[in-house]
Amino acid sequence: MLHEILPHRFDNTFVVAAGITEEDYILHYKESSLLVKTNGEGFEFPRKKDFSESFDTTGNAYLFSLNEVRCFLIWEDPDIQDDTFSYKEISFFRTLSPPEIAWAGIVGFQLRNFYLRHKYCGKCGSKTEVKQDERAIFCPECQTIVFPEIPPAIIVAITCKDKILLAHNSGFQQNWYSLVAGYVEIGESLEETVKREVKEEVGLDVRNVRYYKSQPWPFSGSMMIGFFAEADDTQPVRPDNVEITEAGWFSRGNLPNHPPTISIAGELIDQFEKGEV
């Protein structure tokens, strides 16, 4: 999956950083794009030394390290006078090579959005500051501290004997199918969310709900928690016609276009296709 980048080392442990050094990586986002540098093998993050002009590091935030190199978020547009630099839309990073750059770039985007959304205190409206001793935002007026929040979401592969239920979301391209998914509501267990989302979106009752694995998904800022479940295929499939416009049972070797294994959706479907569930 997208976050599995071994033997490369991604470490999101927060460290107190005295300042940005010449060898540190710089992550700069413009709207939904990230600044990258081309090299002979693909793309890489620019380092501070790659910029001819110094830039304002006020308000910068330490993000994480990649292969022991520290990564910093900067807000000011750096002075670019080299055609090896370019901005790439964040969706481009789903298939970017090398994968460790793709993963770190996407996680950085999630953290950047966290800082961007909390520039002002939600309690008193004052301008906030980035804490330098932990990954959090601090309001100097009312002392409120805000930490990143990660909404949990379930995704479930529903099977019946040698068939799997796939659904077409209203936001998908034509002839593209995936699994039922949805966010956990307050007061719900994960298993209750699976049953509710399946019932709401495709009208089925499921049983034998089994945890598979999880995947952080920075594109939506969520944690995707994967499950398998079973359903009786004699039940009518009733798409809600809001999120889901089509849904149906498909057999092995006859699946429509679906997500690749960089996502947990694709891996769950792949497990079914290979007969491992």
pLDDT digits (tens, 9 = 90+) for 192-244: 999 999 999 999 999 999 999 999 999 999 999 999 999 999 999 999 999 99
Q: Would you call the peptide bond into 98 cis, given omega within 30 degrees of 0 as the criterion?
A: yes
pLDDT bracket for residue 56 (50, 70, 90)? low
**Fold held by 10-117:** Nucleoside Triphosphate Pyrophosphohydrolase (3.90.79)
pLDDT bracket for residue 256 (50, 70, 90)? very high
Mean pLDDT estimate for the chain: 93
Distances (CA, A) of 244 to 121, 161, 197: 37, 23, 11
Q: What is the pLDDT of residues 172-193, one digit of tens each?
A: 988 899 999 999 999 999 999 9
- Decide which of 92 and 184 is more confident: 184
Mean pLDDT on 146-154: 96
The residue type of 236 is P
Q: What is the pLDDT of residues 24-38, one digit of tens each?
A: 999 999 999 999 998
**Among 3-12, 13-22, 116-125, which stretch is predicted with the lowest mean pLDDT?**
13-22
Domain borders along the chain are 10-117, 152-273
**Domain 152-273 in this protein, CATH class:** alpha beta
pLDDT above 90 covers what percent of the chain? 79
**159-185 per-residue burial string, b: 16 or more CB within 10 A, e: under 16:** bbeebbbbbbbeebeeeebbbbbbebe
Mean pLDDT on 161-174: 93
What's the pLDDT score for residue 57? 66
What Rg do the C-alpha atoms of the chain give, in angstroms? Answer: 22
Quick one: three-class SS letters along 2-57? CCCCCCCCEECCCCCCCCCCCCCEEECEECCEEEEEEECCEEECCEHHHCCCCCCC
What's the pLDDT score for residue 58? 67
**Among 4-18, 147-161, 230-244, which stretch is predicted with the lowest mean pLDDT?**
4-18
What does pTM read for this prediction? 0.88
